[in-house]
Amino acid sequence: MQHVTVGDGMTVPDALEVSDVSHSYGRKQALSDVSFSIAPGRFTVLLGLNGAGKTTLFSLISRLYDTRHGSMRIFGHDIARASGEALRRLGIVFQARTLDLDLSVCQNLSYHAALHGLGRRAAMARIETLLAQVDMSDQIHDKARSLSGGQMRRVEIARALLHRPRLLLLDEATVGLDIRSRADILAIIRALVSTEGISVLWATHLIDEVEDGDHVVVLDKGKVLADGRVTEVCRSVGAGDIRQAFATLTRPPQASAEGRPA
């Protein structure tokens, strides 16, 4: 387990530590010996094409699936053996939309707050604060079905933050959104990291969502191909930018003139 030393000399365990995690669906291997960690208060990009294994990994972290091979910890708490403590520190936004379309924004959030044991008064205060943070205060009483895709995603982000998690996972959070909405969602999440110190694992296949200062984990066909700062990953493969580095890392082996693998 890795630890980070903070200003007062105390050490804090990694926000997320994934160690030798493998998972399969029958004979199909979805993840193979996946290992990486993310430091507290960092924005980390899990970069991979569709089918790379990103959603499977998120399902394991959130305990939708059991971890049979390998281990994972959230701020030092083993997800399998201390799931309550681990998941209490986790907020997650899945790729699929999950709001109840027949309920208002406030009702959707209030129901989720109750699941976390928040009293009505505390829940409403938290809901109002979060909706202001994601610029959705004016829509608090609107039915979810009347919202745009970008607005729904903002509400889902607010919902994931209700219980004040220290680690936030987002799986393809901008999929299907227009350019402006994508940029707005990404700006909201990056602001949470810089102003509140929340740790974020942002899964995406969109390379333009990666910035040079980010920590990036490149996942391809269930395997980690690179793990480090963007500049380090680019340097390791002699690439000028992350787009070129990703193309180099995920390029299939070239065939020789005789048709055999090179």
Give 75-109 pLDDT, tens digit per residue. 999 999 999 999 999 999 999 889 999 999 999 99
Question: For residue 135, what are the contacts with CB-CB under 8 A and spacing of at least 6?
Answer: 154, 184, 188
Task: Give the three-state DSSP class for 70.
Answer: strand
Is the pLDDT at 262 greater than 50? The verdict is no
pLDDT of residue 252: 83
pLDDT in tens, 133-166: 999 999 999 999 999 999 999 999 999 999 999 9
77/138 Cα distance (integer angstroms): 38
At 253, the pLDDT band (50, 70, 90 cuts) reads confident
pLDDT band of residue 9 (cuts 50, 70, 90) is low
Whole-angstrom distance, CA of residue 116 vs CA of residue 118: 6
Give pLDDT, residue 68. Answer: 84
User: CA 222 to CA 45: how far, in whole Å?
Assistant: 16
**Mean per-residue pLDDT of the chain:** 92
| pLDDT at residue 67, rounded to an integer | 81
pLDDT interval class at 128 (50, 70, 90): very high
Q: What percent of the chain has pLDDT over 90?
A: 85
Q: How confident is the model at residue 256 (pLDDT cuts 50, 70, 90)?
A: very low
Q: Is the pLDDT of residue 74 over 80?
A: yes
Query: Percent helix, strand and coil across the chain, each rounded to 5?
Result: 35, 25, 35
252 against 23, higher pLDDT: 23
Would you tell me how many other CB atoms lie within 10 Å of the CB of residue 64? Answer: 12
Six-digit token pair at 67? 């971890």
What average pLDDT does the segment 214-223 reach? 97
Q: 99 in helix, strand or coil?
A: coil
- Indicate whether 36 pLDDT > 60: yes
Q: Comparing 51 with 256, which gets the higher pLDDT?
A: 51
- Tell me the CATH number of domain 3-89+166-250, given options 3.40.50.300, 3.30.420.40, 3.40.50.720, 3.40.50.2300: 3.40.50.300
pLDDT for position 4: 53
Under the banding of pLDDT at 50, 70 and 90, the label for residue 255 is: very low
What are the domain boundaries of the chain? 3-89+166-250, 95-164
